[in-house]
Chains A and B, each alone.
Chain A
Amino acid sequence: MLASSRIDPKRRNNLDHRKRQFAQPQWQQQKYEYGLNFYVLPPTAEITLEEFEEWAIARLKVLSELESCTFRNRTLEETTNYMTPILQKHMPLNPSRSSTAQDERKKDHYSHFILRLAFSATEDLRRRFSRLETMLFRLRYKEEDARERKNFVDSLGATMGMSWEKVSEEEEVQELGADLRAATGYAKKGEDEGWFKVDWEKVPELVESRRVLLKRGKAYVPVREQQSLVVAEFGRRLDAALEVSWFFYPVSLDDRDVMLMAPGTAYSTRPPSTRRRRPPLPHPRPPFPILHRPRSNLRRRVLPSGLAPTHQNIDALSQHFPLCMQHLHRTLRQNSHLKHYGRLQYTLFLKGIGLSLEECILFWRRSFKLMTDEKFTKEYKYNIRHAYGDVGGDANRRGRGYTPYSCQKLLTEALPGPGQTHGCPYRTFTVDNLAAMLQQTGVSDRETLKCVREDVARQRYHIACNRVFEYAHKTEIKEVKNKGVWGEAELDTILHPNTYFKRSFLLKHLGEEGHSGE
């Protein structure tokens, strides 16, 4: 596929070179009719170096804010609210009648292509860029003036062969009416009712959440869901385009492997000739600080000196565990078993609190009381060793296995199914079961429970968890605050189960060490 998308140099220019000097340049200045853009044509006009840099950085800021929204697990609505001022500041897009519209759209267009090139270097970057750009497009699509949006979508049908087969009113709507409405819901007032018929593969997200009617491989998509069709198409085209960009990334093919191994060396391996001519591409790494935070957090995680976890004292230590791990621990003790993802989550947590591989294997072996040694060795031991990086591929061993899961990971993964116990209880439990579980673990304060209920209702699961932590350690927190031994940073919001454990452990053993362990 890659090879075919590369233009054969012989065929690249069919213009007769003698006539070429008189030919009209094809797209010197593009006229931007719509605010939304599928970014099909690359820009061809010249811009200054300052513009190049400024525009790219502005877009990078927008994208990084967008990324941090996904990390904080914001809903689409919250993201919109958060992003609107940021977009207005860095990358405004006014309606067509505005006098600045053309300039803004040009900036949008050019900055997209600058970053597209910069992000095309590695597979990871490409995926990240595509995800964020698609999100940005979705956001703008939603906010766009209805009439302009319609014009834009119609233009897509005309120029790009994205056509929508409308379901004919007479026959099919009559016939399938009830099913159609049952599947897609009734149109709200003011929306026009109507459906498109497309292959279901075009609308996987609608299919996944059962928001369309399926009949023999065709999806009946309500007109108002057109958004997801357009957005999906945007993402698809961008993915393909990024592959092409990567091919033209200014590094010779032989250097590419070197570059993949060490992204920082990209500039030095570039052939000198190209290095001279091109302005430096803004490197996409630095402005995304949030991305690297969990990692650095882990690096910092030095274990408290008074702590020596073994397979025998996990029960005692479990009083310091956050609710998710306590739940796993209790389930394990109750059933003498845990399902796969529960085991994985718990193993990694235990690894994070400093339980050695040998002790961890011993812990699981003793915990699975009803199991024969043979079965344990055959079916479970390998996975534990794999998680610790004791076995597995080179990359796994070198990386010392997997990283313990953060709250972000636990809050964004799929919900557990029947019989599974992993994930964050604040998210997976019903409120009543959650309250019961909290009471069992000693959180009986009415006020705290009430606040937890509110937090959970607003999907602020980690806030609820922090609230419980603060309640459970209120005297100790007060003490360290009064004495001034712990600074702000050490009492920051907890975003990792292992941070929860460590902080809890330290607070309960304050006098014994005399230092905070940081």
Chain B
Amino acid sequence: MPHSISPEPSPQEDSILPDAPARPLEDGLDNPSEEESSAGTQTITDVSADAVSKESGNLEDIFDDDDEDDEFSSSTPQASSQTGSQDTIKPAPNASSSDPEVMKAFYQRLFPFRYLFQWLNHSPSPTNDFGHREFAFTLRNDAYLRYQSFPTADLLRKQCIQLNPSRFEIGPVYSTNPRERKTLRRATAFRPISKELVFDIDMTDYDEIRTCCTGASICSRCWTFITMAIKVVDAALRDDFGFRHILWVYSGRRGAHAWVCDRRARDMDDVKRRAVAGYLELLKGGDKSGKKVNVKRPLHPHLERSLGLLREHFQADILCEQDPWASPEKAARLLELLPDKELNKSLQKKWDSAPLRPSSQKWADIDALAATGASESLDTKALRDAKQGIVLEYTYPRLDAEVSKKLNHLLKSPFCVHPATGRVCVPIDTRKVEEFDPLGVPTVTELLAEIDEWARTHSNGEEGDDEKKKVQDWEKTSLKPYVEYFRTFVAGLLKDEKGAVKREREDGESMEF
């Protein structure tokens, strides 16, 4: 799924797809049944209403229409939908995310398409940033549909409801509309031109050092690895590269994705992406290549800072929680990483007499024995460097670097549902990254139940009927804080984009190297 060959679009592609021309205006009118629960996509107004009103030109009109259309559909017809079609949307209470009806309801009622659109479009009115963006759907039968694109959020939503994919991925913005790629005379006219800089951290890369779980399972103890990784990568991207709009997203099972959305990051070519990935990548070498940290001293400031961030985690989360060198076989790995043979011998002797000594004590033994002069030839500097290397090897982020290096790599969209766990890929607030609990992330079935629950508790009071209509479905659930965080994030990004466009106009092209 990540790296490697992306399967070619399957031959049935064209037959499955309905023709999806841009006709955002009629949609709601033709097909009220589709609109009945447009709640999830309704609110563009609060973020960008003033932005729109200040814009001038034709696009604004289209946009306004769009808005009215939405309001219309979400006020009047919704009343009927509340009673009329509830049972068609709602799945059985014990259904899971593998149930197509559950996913359909999720796309209809909860998925924040509107914010997703704003996020990728970088402007309130539809632009090529969104229109030429590739989406790829993984369908229920595991067919993989590449090169989909949509002029507006509503059309994307409509397609999602219709195809009901188990998940979808986001690719780059192309120079021409991805759907028209085969009509081009020259193949080079169709090329990716921009995409967020993305990172993928997956727990599988930690399997050799985590002791609590393996494979697909995780617990709060090993989630700490991801927390550490987020802190280190986030700090580097902000302080060193000067990026400001970094969205971290839980991948739904055992990892996290980062989307760096600054324009400067989006416009990077593969060489620059590789440079960033290389800058952040530290651990090199397979299982047999000895120590994985090979860096010069003094440490690069980025590594020095990372080491500062990681040191406390190492003591608490690695030595105590993970206990990586508990057994004698595992302790051998520790000795392998230490430079001094004499010292290793005395350590070995000590640990042989107490083979199950916990890792924190073994770690302390190194310094203790070194201080007593167990080795005459001891190079304290080499030992210190080796210890730093060990801390880094056990804590430093293990990125799936291939994902970051290529402009045209696809990555699962935020707010998708992980097919195996049913959890929603929610954004992670980096200010509260320590508090994030992957096991507490709501699953799609829980969320749908919460909507029902909300309806039950709010149904007795009839007086607030008008206000009730305005409450979005996602606001009724525990998805609310995540969507709100995403909305704030997107608003910040849009504000900067707008500023950048204005500045560009004022400055002209003065920044020449």
Contacts and interface: CB of A to CB of B under 8 A. Distances in A.
B5 A386 contact: yes
Given A183-B300, A217-B241, A257-B186, A161 B512 contact: yes
Contacts of B292: 418
Interface in B241-259: 241-243
A304 interface: no
A220 to B, nearest CB: 10
Interface in A230-271: 233, 257
A415 B207 CA distance: 19
Nearest to A340: B4
Nearest to A386: B5
A144 B242 CA distance: 36
Interface stretch (A7-15, A208-216, A292-300): A208-216
A430 interface: yes
A391 B11 CA distance: 11
B208 A429 contact: no
Contacts of B275: 200, 204-205, 207-208
A182 interface: yes
B401 interface: yes
Question: Quick one: which of B1, B242, B304, B398 has the most chain A CB within 10 A?
Answer: B242
B513 A202 contact: yes
A433 B289 contact: yes
Contact of B298 (A181, A218, A421, A433): A181
Interface string A154-180: 000000011100000000000000010
Interface in A333-380: 340, 344, 378-379
B288 A201 contact: no
A432 B243 CA distance: 43
Contacts of A393: 8
B301 A213 contact: yes
B272 A417 contact: no
Given A418-B205, A418-B286, A428-B289, A182 B299 contact: yes
Contacts of A183: 300-301
Nearest to B206: A418
Contact of B302 (A214, A415, A419, A422): A214
Contacts of A428: 285-286, 288-289
A221 to B, nearest CB: 13
Nearest to A415: B284
Interface in B270-320: 271-272, 274-279, 283-290, 292, 295-296, 298-304
Nearest to B236: A214
A417 B296 contact: no
Contacts of B375: none
A42 interface: no
A437 B288 CA distance: 10
Interface in B185-204: 185-186, 188, 204
A429 B207 contact: no
A427 to B, nearest CB: 9
A210 B236 CA distance: 12
A416 B300 contact: no
A383 interface: yes
A52 interface: no
A161 B208 contact: no
B286 A391 contact: no
A420 interface: yes
B440 interface: no
Contact of A418 (B4, B240, B276, B283): B283
A199 B401 CA distance: 23
A340 B3 contact: yes
Contact of B286 (A200, A207, A423): A423
A200 B241 contact: yes
Nearest to A420: B286
A392 interface: yes
B264 A162 contact: no
A162 B239 contact: no
A222 interface: no
A38 interface: no
A415 B8 contact: no
A415 B243 CA distance: 28
A429 B288 contact: yes
Contact of B513 (A161, A386, A421): A161
B464 interface: no
B290 A432 contact: yes
A419 B512 contact: no
Interface string A298-320: 00000000000000000000000
A425 interface: yes
Given A201-B272, A207-B276, A417-B283, A382 B240 contact: no
A198 B240 CA distance: 13
A182 B284 contact: no
A90 B301 CA distance: 46
Contacts of A490: none
A415 B285 contact: yes
A123 interface: yes
B57 interface: no
Nearest to A430: B290
B69 to A, nearest CB: 38
Nearest to B2: A340
A422 B285 CA distance: 10
Contacts of B186: 257
A433 B299 contact: no
Given A208-B274, A391-B8, A433-B289, A417 B512 contact: no
Contacts of A429: 288-290
B18 interface: no
B264 A217 contact: yes
B91 to A, nearest CB: 24
Contact of A182 (B285, B301, B512): B301
A420 to B, nearest CB: 5
Interface string A367-408: 000000000001100110010000111000000000000000
Question: Quick one: which of A123, A202, A207, A379 has the most chain B CB within 10 A?
Answer: A207
A163 B188 CA distance: 33
B142 interface: yes
B7 interface: yes
A417 B284 contact: yes
Given A205-B275, A215-B239, A218-B242, A417 B401 contact: yes
Given A210-B302, A418-B283, A216 B512 contact: no
A517 interface: no
B268 interface: yes
Nearest to A382: B7
Nearest to A342: B286
A185 interface: yes
Nearest to A217: B242
Given A214-B241, A216-B239, A217-B242, A207 B278 contact: yes
Interface in A405-463: 415-423, 425, 428-430, 432-434, 437
B401 to A, nearest CB: 7
Contacts of A379: 1
Contacts of B284: 415, 417
Contacts of A421: 286-287
29 contacts: A162-B513, A163-B513, A198-B513, A199-B513, A200-B275, A202-B513, A204-B271, A207-B276, A208-B278, A210-B278, A210-B300, A213-B301, A214-B240, A214-B241, A215-B239, A216-B241, A216-B242, A217-B243, A379-B1, A386-B7, A391-B7, A391-B8, A392-B8, A415-B286, A416-B285, A417-B398, A418-B208, A428-B286, A429-B289
Which 4 A-B pairs rank lowest in CB-CB distance, beginning with the nearest? Answer: A217-B242, A208-B278, A430-B290, A204-B275
Given A210-B279, A418-B208, 17 more contacts: A199-B513, A202-B513, A207-B278, A210-B278, A214-B241, A217-B241, A257-B185, A383-B4, A383-B5, A417-B284, A418-B398, A419-B208, A425-B288, A429-B290, A430-B289, A433-B289, A433-B290
Interface of A: 123, 161-163, 179, 181-183, 185, 198-202, 204-205, 207-210, 213-218, 233, 257, 327, 340, 344, 378-379, 382-383, 386, 391-393, 415-423, 425, 428-430, 432-434, 437
